Copies of this chain bind each other. A is one copy, B any other.
Amino acid sequence: MAYFKSDYTAGALPEIIDALTATNLEHTPGYGQDHYCKEAERLLLEVCGIPDGQVQFVVGGTQANALVLDGLLGKCQGVLAAETAHINVHESGAIEATGHKILTLPTLDGKIRAEDIDRYVTTFFKDDTWPHMVEPGMVYLSFPTELGTLYTRHELEEISTVCHRHHIPLYIDGARLGYGLSSPACDLTLKDLARLADIFYIGGTKQGALFGEAIVSANARLIPRFLSLVKQHGALLAKGRLLGLQFKTLFTDNLYFRASQRAVDFAMQIRQLMQEAGYPLFIASPTNQQFFTLPNDDMDRLHQHVSFELWGPRGKTSTPVRFVTSWATTAEDIQTLAHALKEIR
């Protein structure tokens, strides 16, 4: 069986398991005040080109999103985001639970546009009844998006410019950041992101860590009492060093990007195999998620050899599906898929 169901079905990169094993009996202070967290913060800020910034490690992506939005949105402010945004669809109302509305922007490809943000904010304050409405106080986007698509450097610069002209912070959800930055279609660097976003997170969970996301901002004082807020959200890990240690490992010897690159390469191989087999792209994604439309018969037969996800309800004759690669994908997985594709014809 080859595994393409998701990028969080396996454990962690072996280097991480090794690091956990090697340091297991060491005693360190709790709650992220240890030397591993400090070292990982230094490494991350260096690679982001913002040495005076701040890093806060948390366990998961919903935590990261809820923390940043709760920390940055003022009373009666909401966050602008794509209708398909993870925070709008798949976080069980975590943002609304902190009292804030998600103000949705239309999207076809999972991306939002600078002009839509600009129009929303400009129109908002022209309306006489604006004090009765939720003020757009922040912009959320994900890189890559839920649909695996990428913003170009030009698009992201436009969005950043619009946000800053309206004094609205820009936040980037980077759950799969590495897979985005390693895409052949990407013309952005991590330093670009750190410069264009006010705050963003570097995903670990889907990128080879057991768990963990690193919230990064150039402005170390962006969110007041951030550590207290992390605690209030139940997101302050007692043995915080587990986060520091993992990110230190990921950002030593370029491990994070090497693993990302390998996964994206495998994804491109999958795309080629599937297109050669005659299956059209359902969404054109240049990252580790690949979407195809499969005839139901083929889909059922393929499922006997390869695990992948239905992307939406089963159709009458064909169904959209998603294949995901990760740091854990192997050349054997790709081989298995290649064989299976031949077999089912």
- Which residues of A pack against B, CB within 8 Å? 3, 5-6, 8-12, 14, 17, 20-21, 23-31, 59-63, 66-67, 70-71, 74-78, 89-94, 96-102, 123, 126, 129-135, 205-206, 210-211, 224-225, 227-229, 231-239, 242, 307, 313, 328
Task: Please pick, from B3, B71, B133, the residue contacting A92 in the complex, using a CB distance under 8 A.
Answer: B133
Query: Which B residues touch A23, using CB under 8 A?
Result: 11
CA of A239 to CA of B21, assembled, Å: 19
Among residues of B, the one whose C-beta sits closest to the C-beta of A23 is B11
The 7 closest A-B pairs by CB, nearest first: A11-B24, A63-B234, A92-B231, A76-B228, A92-B232, A9-B27, A93-B134
Most buried by B among A78, A98, A225: A225
Majority secondary structure, A binding face: loop
Chain B: CB-nearest residue to A130:
B228
Q: Please state if B17 and A129 are interface contacts (CB–CB under 8 Å).
A: no
Q: Is there contact, CB below 8 Å, between A228 and B92?
A: yes
Q: Taking the full assembly, how many copies of this chain does it contain?
A: 4
Question: Which chain B residues lie closer than 8 Å to A206 at the CB level?
Answer: 238
A132, B10: Cβ atoms closer than 8 Å: no
Could you say which of B5, B93, B132, B239 contacts A27, with CB atoms under 8 Å apart? B5
16 more A-B residue pairs beyond the given contacts A8-B239, A234-B234, with a C-beta to C-beta distance below 8 A: A8-B30, A9-B28, A11-B20, A21-B21, A60-B237, A62-B231, A90-B133, A92-B228, A92-B229, A94-B234, A96-B96, A131-B227, A134-B228, A135-B228, A206-B238, A210-B239
* Residues B75 and A232 in contact, CB atoms below 8 Å apart: yes
A100 neighbours in B (Cβ, 8 Å): 93, 96
A75 touching B66, Cβ below 8 Å: no
CB-CB nearest in chain B for A9 = B27
